[in-house]
Amino acid sequence: MTVLAGFAGAPARAASLTEVTGFGSNPGNLQMFRYVPDGLPSGRPLVVALHGCTQNAAAFDSETGWTKWADTWKFALLLPQQRSANNANSCFNWFQAADFSRGQGEALSVRQMVDRMAADHGTDPSQVYVTGLSAGGAMTSVMAASYPDVFAGAAVVAGIPFDCARDVSAGLSCMSPGTDRTPQQWGDKVRAAYPSYTGRYPTVSVWHGTGDTTVKPMNQTELVEQWTNVHGADTTADVSDTVQGYPHQVYRDGSGKDVVESYTITGMAHGQPVDPGAGAAQCGTASQYLPDTNICASYAIGQFWGLSAPDGGEGLPAPSGLAVTATGGSSVSLAWNAVEGAVSYRVYRDGSQVGSPSAASFTDTGLAPGTEYGYTVAAVDGAGAVGAPSAAVRATTTGATPQCYTDNNYQHVAAGRARHSLGQVYALGSGQSMGLYNVYETHTLKETSPGYYVIADSGC
């Protein structure tokens, strides 16, 4: 049985993981692995990361970048692992009611692992997040719907809406061509998972590649419809922008809180985006199902959840209206809408704090000319609690002379100015489509900042 076909991935740092036994009744017969940074204090967040079919915990820790962010942002990482005895392809059984229902099967096993992490490491029960890829993404939907009282946030990568299927045949149909339901119908399925629940539901980040033929991209639309309905938001995005050249949308509830976001990765097949490198926002190890797309999904997801804020947690709402007001050769000026109750703000450049102004504006200085930077802002209340981060903006300092390169698409890829996927070529950074991967189609690319290229066929 192959439901959500998975992938082996690159070799993991097995020594970084520790298996834990005796974490409860374990009705789903799963294995538990954890990664805990040395010296992690109590009261820190917990991220649960669920692998895809044919994968295991050791193929989903550092390869996706989660161990890097656990070390950088100081949180604990829990990696449940399926057994082949439960599913021949080691897929989580997201399509079986006995495993996706609250208080049963695999869903309860994962819940018991979360409790064990709190008992052993004092993780903060208000800062528990879950993410997964492919079958793990579908199981992420399960955990967010069945245990909304446990998880503050969820991120579904190439996954399926909750309760899309209740047998293998329906599961395959959910994957391809996909199942179309109304937002109300999808939302009702989540509400039925825990009928007596009246609290807040997890915020949800949804990621999908437009070239995914394993789990068709319409599942991204259905997931957004499901979770915006659960949060009482409409399906019209409040923010539509691009991040690293990829379409990004944010949906807010009636109070202005960011509750759902989606990333559409142009040209990407089935997998989770990584961006290998040592940069502050880079992560992962590229492989067939962890494609190098010039964007690190785990980094952006962690930012959406507020994990990059040193104090973590959910305090004041995310500042809105963050905008670049000026750029210079070594500076970037920012402004945003003031947050009621904020006594100060924290400004983050590429995930690291660079300022703590009391007003809703800030100028970052000492920057390199002609270089692109990413910024987010979080509000701080009178007790010192740091709220959720804003949507990110990007700015490029002035002063560098853009470099232009004219060549065929094959050579652009070979020179590292573009990437190819499914026979198509895309400019690095901007993600602009350049046509077929061959030696016949020629374009001029302008490098507007290191590693960021735009098509400049009309002149450099």
Higher pLDDT, 58 or 315: 58
In the chain, the percentage of residues whose pLDDT exceeds 90 is 66
> Is residue 134 annotated as part of the catalytic site, yes or no?
yes
Between CA 319 and CA 215 the distance in angstroms is 34
- Per-residue pLDDT of 428-446, as tens digits, reads 888 899 999 998 999 999 8
pLDDT surpasses 50 at 293: yes
The whole-angstrom distance between residue 110's C-alpha and the CA centroid of its chain comes to: 20
Q: What pLDDT was estimated at residue 337?
A: 95
Q: What pLDDT was estimated at residue 351?
A: 67
Between CA 140 and CA 144 the distance in angstroms is 6
pLDDT surpasses 50 at 76: yes
Cis? peptide before 247, omega within 30° of 0: no
Strands (E) across 172-238 are located at: 203-209
- Per-residue pLDDT of 114-137, as tens digits, reads 999 999 999 999 999 999 999 999
pLDDT surpasses 70 at 3: no
pLDDT surpasses 90 at 148: yes
pTM reported for the whole predicted model: 0.69
Between CA 459 and CA 441 the distance in angstroms is 17
In this prediction, residue 1 has a pLDDT band, given cuts at 50, 70 and 90, of: very low
Among residues 233, 230, 140, 249, the alpha carbon closest in space to that of 190 is found at 230
16, 90, 101, 134: the catalytic one is 134
Residue 318 DSSP code: P
Task: Identify whether the C-beta of residue 376 lies closer than 8 Å to the C-beta of residue 303.
Answer: yes
pLDDT surpasses 90 at 452: no
pLDDT surpasses 70 at 14: no
pLDDT surpasses 50 at 8: no
> Of 173-177, 183-187, 379-383, where does mean pLDDT reach its minimum?
379-383
Q: Is the four-CA dihedral 411, 412, 414, 419 of positive or negative sign?
A: negative
Q: Map out the domains of the chain as residue ranges.
A: 14-305, 323-396, 403-455
- Per-residue pLDDT of 322-346, as tens digits, reads 999 999 988 999 999 999 988 889 8
Would you identify the CATH topology of the domain 323-396? Answer: Immunoglobulin-like (2.60.40)
Overall average pLDDT of the 170-195 stretch? 97
pLDDT surpasses 60 at 5: no
pLDDT surpasses 70 at 13: no
In this prediction, residue 172 has a pLDDT band, given cuts at 50, 70 and 90, of: very high
Q: What pLDDT was estimated at residue 323?
A: 93
Mean pLDDT estimate for the chain: 89
**What six digits make up the tokens of 106?**
């695999």
- How many other C-beta atoms can be found within 10 angstroms of the C-beta atom of residue 393? 19
> Of 19-28, 219-228, 274-283, 304-313, where does mean pLDDT reach its minimum?
304-313
What pairing do the DSSP bridges indicate for beta strands 372-380 and 246-252?
unpaired
Between CA 262 and CA 277 the distance in angstroms is 24
Q: What pLDDT was estimated at residue 12?
A: 34
In the chain, the percentage of residues whose pLDDT exceeds 70 is 94
Radius of gyration of the chain (CA): 22
In this prediction, residue 33 has a pLDDT band, given cuts at 50, 70 and 90, of: very high
Residue 287 DSSP code: B
Q: What pLDDT was estimated at residue 391?
A: 81
In DSSP terms, 362 is beta-bridged to 334
- Per-residue pLDDT of 185-228, as tens digits, reads 999 999 999 999 999 999 999 999 999 999 999 999 999 999 99
In this prediction, residue 383 has a pLDDT band, given cuts at 50, 70 and 90, of: low
Q: What pLDDT was estimated at residue 334?
A: 96
Q: Three-class SS of residue 225?
A: helix
CATH of domain 14-305: 3.40.50.1820
Residues 6 or more apart whose CB falls under 8 angstroms from that of 458 comprise none
Q: What is the 3-state secondary structure (H, E, C) of 17-39?
A: CEEECCCCCCCCCCEEEEECCCC
**What six digits make up the tokens of 161?**
């809406």
In this prediction, residue 396 has a pLDDT band, given cuts at 50, 70 and 90, of: confident
Q: What pLDDT was estimated at residue 89?
A: 94
Q: Three-class SS of residue 292?
A: strand
Q: Specify burial of residue 335 (Cβ count, 10 A radius: 0-12, 13-18, 19+).
A: middle
Between CA 189 and CA 155 the distance in angstroms is 18
- Per-residue pLDDT of 305-322, as tens digits, reads 988 765 444 468 889 999
In this prediction, residue 423 has a pLDDT band, given cuts at 50, 70 and 90, of: confident
In this prediction, residue 384 has a pLDDT band, given cuts at 50, 70 and 90, of: low
pLDDT surpasses 60 at 10: no
- Backbone φ and ψ for 457, nearest 5 degrees, come out as -65, -25
